[in-house]
Structures are given as structure tokens and as C-alpha cells.
Amino acid sequence: MQAIRYNASHDRSAQGRSGFDNSAPHSPLGLVRGACLLWIMWMVAPLPSAFAASVLTLNDLLLLGLGHNPAVLAAREQVSASQGMAVAARAYPNPEISGLTGRGRELNVPNPLSGSVYSFALHQPLEYSGLRNPRIQAAEASVQAADAARRAFENDALAAIKLAYYDLLRRQDEAQASEEDLQITQKIRDSIALRYHVGESPRFDLITAETERLNALKNHDMALLRTRQARIALRQAVGQSIPEDTQIVGSLPDAVVMPPLATLQEQLNARNPELQQVQAENQAAESRVDWQKAQRLPQLALVAQHDSDPTLSSSRVGVAVTIPLWDQHSGPVLQAQAELARSRHVVDSRRQWLGESLSAAYARFDSARNQVALLENDLLLQATEAKNVAEAAYRHGERGILDWLNAQRTYRIARSELITARYDLATVVVEIDRLLATPPSMLPSTAPTP
């Protein structure tokens, strides 16, 4: 706005120097110039960014990765290429037209005639359904396989974003815990220093408390470094630059609702894109076998020809037949059959591998869920109570500084193990979501972390 006011005053002064009437503040020329300036300012003004929001949730990051990740966009173009091949498979063979021209002259006649001669021929291959349909079906199955490969790539990209997201939450929780530890150890050190100066505590207690504070400071610096590294990894997984001031909100899960394993196995067989990809490739291999076998049959073509010379003009129509006498297409048929057998083995192997992977992930899920419940409901509560008792006992002179610091250390270990257990639970859930190809709108319900 300052630039606009400056330019307007500059225009008015220019108008005064050029002889225009300064008493006409709403002259048409001034209005036009003002409108042009406003239009230019609007065009060069920075557009609102996709990251204008200072808070991003997990679903925001997932949708952002699907919409802007260059690797995901490149995978989608492969589907378009396969669709082009399917369009080519539906095309009919092109006709072939040939023509000749020249001059001709009769021979062995008293008065020979001479003049231009010419001929042209049309050759149109004919396709029957037994040859055409398998080729189209193979191309359509290839499109389905390419689309399944695209969904598998997007599914892996979503899993990478989820893992990076939960890793950042884990590091943020560790950084927050280290900040609390630093404050507590600083408070303990200051309290002991005061008691040491008045002669109520020995120097050993002060040295021990200072050592504990320095160790907490070191852990805090390392936690901040790991948090920055986790944020960088999240930006790499999303495929877009996220400003440093953007707040990533959420919490590590401590209670996840998961259906029984049998239900998950059914969802795996119905939704897993890797399994759908190999199944579509198997269908394409079956169609290619039928197509190669169909090429053993005689191939037909419509032939039309017209000849003209000074004495005769003739037109003929017929059929050309390609007889598979010497080459019976045995090699391509055997190759297609071998590819079909290989694709069937791949389908069986992939189905078994995915099923076993889901079973192993579900077993890890049960273990991680039990670990979280045990740490949160038993160990952490007992460690908290022991810490409070040790602190009160030290303040009343019933316990030494070592007992208080040991209780603090036990509490920190239990809290750190709980953060790690919640992260392990989140990674197992991510693996199950990846196997089931769970979309962003169907994330499992989690209880909030206190």
C-alpha cells in the first residue's frame, strides 16, 4: 500500500509538470493508472501456500503426500502409459494400398495402341474374435496390474509417511521428557547446593547432583537433535517442504481397536494391491497364451485390385490366406505358457507371504499392546509413587540423595520405555495398515495419550 501511495503521488506530480489540471483528482487517466497498479500488485503478490496452516495432522500429511509427492505422481503416469497400450490393442489393422503407373504399347498388331497404364491394389487384414479378444483382454489386465502397482506404491508411500510421523511424535515426546528431566535435576541441584552452603549436605551430594544435571543436559541436547532429524525425515517422506514453524499434532497410540485375525485375512485378500497386481498379471498371462494359440490359425486378408491399360481395364476382389505350414508359432506359445506357470507360482507365493506377514504383525501387535498396558498401568505408576516417596523421604532426612536420584532414574527409564512401547505399537499398526491398504480416511481409532 505504501508503494501504491508513492506511485499515486508521483503520478500527480508528473501530471502537474506536464500541464494537467491537478484539481481533477478523479481524471480518467489517473483511474486507469490506479487500476493498472492494483492489478500488477495483485498479480505479483505471493499466493497462499499449501502450508499456510500452522498445524498439520496425520491425515493432512497423508493427503499432502498423495497429492504432491513427485514419486507418487510419476507412478500414476505409468498407468496412463498402460492405458495407451490398451487403446492400441483395440485398434484394427490398417489397410495397405499399393499402386503402379507407366506407359504401355501393344505388340504384334498392325496398328499398335499405346498409352498410360496403371494398377492399384488394396490389402486389408481381417481379424476374427478368437484372435482379437485375447489381445484386448491381455492389455486390459495389464492396465489393472499397472493400476494395482500404482496403488501399492502409494500404499508404501503412505506407510513411510506414517512411520516418519510417529517417529517425530516419539522424538517430540522424548524431547519434552528430557526437558522435564533437566528442570527436575536443576531443581535438585539447586536445592542440594543451598543445603551444602548452609552445612546440611556433604559435598558428595552436590557433585552427584551436578553430574546428574549434566547428564540430563546432554540427553536433552541429543533429544532436540533427534527431533530435528525426524522432522527432516518427515519432509522427505511427504515429498514437500514443511516450514519449521509448522506444528505436527497428534499422539502415539496406547490403545488400538483391531478386528480379529480372520477378519483381517479376508480384508487382506480383498484389498491388498500387491496381491491384486500379481493376480492381474496372471490374467494377462492367460490371455496372452490364448492370443499366441490363436495365431496358429490361418490368417485372412481381403484383397482388391484394379488394372488398366490401353486395351483392357479389369477389377478383381479376393481373399489372401496365410497358411501356418512351416512356422506354427510353437515357440511363442511355449514361452507364453511358461510365463503363465510362473505367474501362478508368483500369485501363490505372494498370497502365502502376505498372509504370514499379517499373522506375524498381528502377533507383534498383541505383544506391543500388552507392553503398553503393563508399562502404563503398573510399572510407570509404581515408579512414580517410588519417586514421590523417595523425594519426601530425602526432604525429611530419612533417605540420602542417591536414593532420590535412583528413584528419579527408575522413573525416567519407565517413562522412556513407555514412549518406546507406544512407538512400537504405532509401527505395528502401520504395518497392518500397509498390508490391508487402509486409506487415510480409515485410520484405526486410538485412545489419546495422557
Domains and CATH numbers, the chain: 2-13+25-44 (no CATH), 55-105+115-323+345-442 (1.20.1600.10)
Return the exposure string of 362-392: e unless at least 16 CB atoms fall within 10 Å of the residue's CB, then b.
bebbeebbebbeebbeebbeebeebbeebbe
> Residue 144 has which C-alpha cell?
489393472
Tell me if residue 321 falls in helix, strand or coil: strand
pLDDT for residue 30 = 52
What average pLDDT does this structure show over 266-291? 93
pLDDT for residue 44 = 37
Q: What CA–CA distance (Å, rounded) separates 29 from 42?
A: 20
Lowest-confidence pick of 8-12, 91-95, 236-240, 369-373: 8-12
Q: Is residue 19 predicted with pLDDT exceeding 50?
A: no
pLDDT for residue 34 = 52
pLDDT for residue 440 = 64
Q: Is residue 37 predicted with pLDDT exceeding 60?
A: no
Mean of the per-residue pLDDT values of the chain:
82
Q: Is residue 352 predicted with pLDDT exceeding 80?
A: yes
HEC string of 78-145?
A: HHHHHHHHHHHHHCCCCCEEEEEEEEEECCCCCCCCEEEEEEEEEEEEECCHHHHHHHHHHHHHHHHH
| Backbone φ/ψ region at 244: left (φ over 0), alpha (ψ -120 to 50), beta | alpha
pLDDT for residue 15 = 40
Percent above pLDDT 70 for the chain? 86
